[in-house]
Structure 1
Amino acid sequence: MLPAKDRPQKTNWCGILLAFMSGACFTLSSAAVKALRTIDPMELLVIRSLLQVLAMLPLVIWGRGQGQLLGPPGYRLLLQLQGFVGGMTLVLLFFSFRRLPLGDATTIIFSSPVLVMVLSFIFLREPCGFFRTFIVFLLVTGVVLIAKPPFIFKSGPDVYDVIGYTCAIFATIFTALNIVVMRKCKDVHFSVVVLQLSIWSLLMSAGTLLTLGHRHDIGVLIHRTWYEWLLAVAVSVLGLTGQVLVAKALNLEGAGKVSVTRSLDIVLAFILQVFAFGDYPDWESILGALMVLVCVVGIGLEEHVYYIAGILP
């Protein structure tokens, strides 16, 4: 029988549920960004980041954040690193989804669980045996079948956006780093974690607007239509909710399981695309969606698989 010390810890299903809900919020937020083509993505990120700062600041000052704007001693440097990595992740995500075909960007970015498994094994000492390796392989295969990227299926244009693909690759790396660093901050109240990320993303998105030479009349932004403002607020609220939920999920469950569960985002996006945009799937997309579902269920039942394997002759 497998020694008790070598078995994975039991799955915290509350953490898995929060991770799933976080994925749903991020998926809906991404759909709103996709629908809102009349506003620069960095403007949307500025609005979202500002709303997050305004929402988290009272919780940090007067709530359970205990008035520690920079976080508790011993975590402050780590929180700044988390804020920088998280802010950079958001900037890269917004750029990659705007510049690349949705399939390409989704395939690259949602391969981040591979990096999360490796990084969580190195820095968090989480187990990463044959079972997890197989789950990650199955997950990536499912994502590829759903997205059908042109650079694999040879169905896209011959010329690709180098900047867009570079942003997507780095977004994948920063997404994995962000989840691992947030897991290291699991003992810090979520309001402090989200506040630091929000401040960094606000600075980065505003700086990107200025650096790239975007010039926007404030009057133009104020006089947007009610539909544009509704979608902009939806992007902000859903993004904030997703960020809080993933921070809470990482307080309860390991980075590897949270990352794989959040990969269910692609299945939700696939369902949303069918019912909201009328884009019906082929058999490859259906098979890929089923593979992702199997991965999510499998990683949740990991300890039972190890237990059964340990008692078999």
Structure 2
Amino acid sequence: MSNSDSESPLIHTIGHRDNYGSTQFTSGTSQDDEAIDRRPNVPGFVANNAGMLYIISSQFFFACMNLSVKMLNSSDPPVHPFEVIVVRTGITLICCVIYMIVTGVPDPILGPKGVRTLLVIRGITGFLGLCGLYLSLQYLSVADATVLTFLTPLTTAVAGCILLKEGYSVTQAVAGFCSLLGVVLIARPPFLFNSMPAVIPDIYYLPETTPAQRLAAVGVSMIGVLGATGAYTSIRAIGKRAHPMHVMSFFSLWCTTMASLGMVVFNIPVVYPKSWRWSLLLLMVGAFGFVAQTLLTLGLQRETVSRGSTGVYIQVLFAVVLERLIFGVVPSLLSVLGAAIIVSSALFVVLTKRGPTPVNTADSTA
């Protein structure tokens, strides 16, 4: 059911041979990954699943970042999502540009020729995905927003199959569905579990939300899902034709610019730090976001979006553990069951990865 990536015009629309690792893709690994596989001092399991492990690691830092955002939302006065985006992506942008200038990465501002259009698409869709998530949290419970956000791996898998000609096996579809079921058991959205309390503390709920506001939040969340789908797909299409910092800097630049314009257009006041804790949380949002985006970009450059996006589900497990450690929230039996399903599904996808074969290598040669 797998198709060669060489059939995808999105992946191979370049007019030069410059690359940042390899421009040749297979259904799961690139040629430099295959070279790593042949090194005797690197465990084969880690080498074969480097992309997936990067993605899973990124979800821990995304969970830490979201926890910091939630704590900012509970502050007085609350911080508008646009300001949070400006701070988070602004820090990431500065770090990316400094790194590329210091290390001598070519084209630190404009990016490599041949993929600049894809980099712009990554930046715009990434902003829509981030904005959709943060804005929906204003009128949706964290449980509902989580379930809606985790539609992204399903839509990303379909996009990767259609646009990038990547394979989407039955086992990946089953693992994705099971992971989504696990997310539902942990989040327990009220529209499915009316009589059961959610796992998230009450300080994160907005009980006075009107039906119109809730409907608008769901719509914004769906735009966020589409944006995240475009971001994941464009990262995979760019692959290693651009440095990870190029990908992150374009994302950060567009997010910082568009969120700043949004604050001006909608006359959103800037909330200035009033305590060291407030300032520390903002810095944590930026730092965790930078590390998470770096790991996610590295992972999606090495992994198909259909398979790699499955690792995104692990974020909800990290969220449950962090809430237990920080807020003392004890997960229910359903949460434990959901976490077990998610972990099992992720392990199943990792362990069933097919190693590179000579046939696939030949098919993927550009």
Q: TM-score, normalised by structure 2?
A: 0.76
One of 246, 255, 277 as aligned partner of 2:296: 246
Offset of 1:62 from its aligned partner?
4.6
Offset of 1:155 from its aligned partner?
4.4
Question: Cα–Cα, structure 1 residues 280 and 92, in superposed 2: closer, same or farther, change >3 Å?
Answer: same
1:64-91 CA-to-partner distances (Å, cap 9, x unmatched) read 5303422111111111111111122111
Q: TM-score, normalised by structure 1?
A: 0.88
Q: Which protein is richer in helix relative to its size? A: 1
2:257 corresponds to: 203
Alignment of 1:1-313 (within 5 A): 9=28, 12-37=48-73, 38=75, 39-155=79-195, 159=211, 161-187=214-240, 188-216=242-270, 221=272, 223-303=273-353
Unmatched runs of 5 consecutive residues or more in structure 1: 306-313
For residues 134 and 259 of structure 2, the distance between their equivalents in structure 1, rounded to whole angstroms, comes to 10
1:24-69 CA-to-partner distances (Å, cap 9, x unmatched) read 1110000001011232222121111211121111233453530342
Offset of 1:227 from its aligned partner?
0.6
Offset of 1:268 from its aligned partner?
0.6
* SS of 1:186 mapped into structure 2: helix
* Aligned-residue identity in percent: 25
**Bigger CA drift: 149-158 or 102-111?**
149-158
For residues 193 and 259 of structure 2, the distance between their equivalents in structure 1, rounded to whole angstroms, comes to 34
CA RMSD of aligned residues (A): 2.5
Matched to 2:56, the amino acid is F
Offset of 1:140 from its aligned partner?
1.2
Is the contact made by 1:194 and 1:244 (CA closer than 8 Å) also made in structure 2?
A: yes
Matched to 1:106, the amino acid is T
For residues 285 and 206 of structure 1, the distance between their equivalents in structure 2, rounded to whole angstroms, comes to 38
For residues 190 and 169 of structure 1, the distance between their equivalents in structure 2, rounded to whole angstroms, comes to 27
Unmatched runs of 5 consecutive residues or more in structure 2: 5-25, 30-44, 197-206, 356-366
Question: Cα–Cα, structure 1 residues 241 and 9, in superposed 2: closer, same or farther, change >3 Å?
Answer: closer
For residues 265 and 190 of structure 2, the distance between their equivalents in structure 1, rounded to whole angstroms, comes to 32
Offset of 1:254 from its aligned partner?
1.7
Matched to 2:109, the amino acid is L
Offset of 1:271 from its aligned partner?
1.3
For residues 354 and 90 of structure 2, the distance between their equivalents in structure 1, rounded to whole angstroms, comes to 44
1:246-302 CA-to-partner distances (Å, cap 9, x unmatched) read 111112222222211121000110111222212222222111111111110111122
